[in-house]
Amino acid sequence: MARRRSKKVARVQPEAILLDLSMPEMDGDEVLKRLKADPTTSFIPVIIISSEVARAEACLSLGAELFLAKPFRADELLSAVENALANARRRARQGSLALLRLTVGGLEFAIPLDCVRQVILQPATRALPLGPGYISEFFELRGQPVCVLDLARRLEVAHREQVEERKLVILEIDSVLLALSVDTVQDPEEYQSSDIDRRDRVGGADHGQLRDTLMGMLRTSDRPVPIFDPKAFATQELLREAVGVLRPAGVERSA
């Protein structure tokens, strides 16, 4: 019976489990041990319900989420379940990484979502009076000048989309806005740590430019996708200098 119950929990995958310590056939203590020993159920938060305080508190050291003493009110039960679910969601987010996957030319890579402010279609731009070839244009976003970094030029590949079909990924890096010009952008997605090989586990990533650029590799069904630090595409000194000398009224509009 206990084995069938364990299999049912693994199959149903409940959001949380209310576990009474006093049960027929198998006590709640043993059920808790089995749940936490099984990788398919170990992450499910378990709320212990019991009038035996010492015994229930001992279950907390075995991995139980919370202890609710009998008798209890309905609002206490609801609060305990809400807290258990919130703690479980917090743990699930730890080690995960929200990414935005982009393509330029025939290349695909990802960047962390935390520095992305918005994605827009590429607007008309103006010539930038300084900077390297891959940062030669800018536009205004709500009255603020934003430099455009053409990743195709930066990575020495050819765009696959016409200018009017390209996307600008607006980043904020140390309070400076920067727009990455790319061909396509996928919907953002949060990936678990198990989906990502961190840089220290990627061969050769601690040498040369990869040491400052590559954050890791995202494992996908097709092929690994590199995760880049957006700061590596252009230095902060260059961006601040470019923004500081912009004269929007005196420069010509480009296509």
2-92: CATH superfamily: Response regulator (3.40.50.2300)
Distances (CA, A) of 231 to 43, 71, 116, 175: 35, 56, 12, 12
Taking residues 141-149, report their average pLDDT: 90
Q: How many CA atoms lie within 13 A of 66 on its CB side?
A: 20
Residue 174, pLDDT > 80, answer: no
Q: Is 246:137 a contact under the CB 8 Å cutoff?
A: no
3-state secondary structure of 67: strand
| Ranges of CATH 2.40.50.180 domains, the chain | 99-254
- pLDDT of 253 reads 36
Q: Identify which has the larger pLDDT, 40 or 111.
A: 111
| Ranges of CATH 3.40.50.2300 domains, the chain | 2-92
Q: Is 6:34 a contact under the CB 8 Å cutoff?
A: yes
| CATH class held by domain 99-254 | mainly beta
Q: Which single residue is written with the structure tokens 């010009």?
A: 181
Name which of 47-61, 140-154, 199-213 the model is least confident about: 199-213
Express each pLDDT in 14-55 by its tens digit: 888 998 887 766 778 888 888 888 877 888 899 999 888 888
Residue 153 CA to residue 216 CA, distance in Å, equals 23
Give the mean pLDDT of the chain. 81
- pLDDT of 200 reads 62
Taking residues 232-243, report their average pLDDT: 62
- pLDDT of 252 reads 38
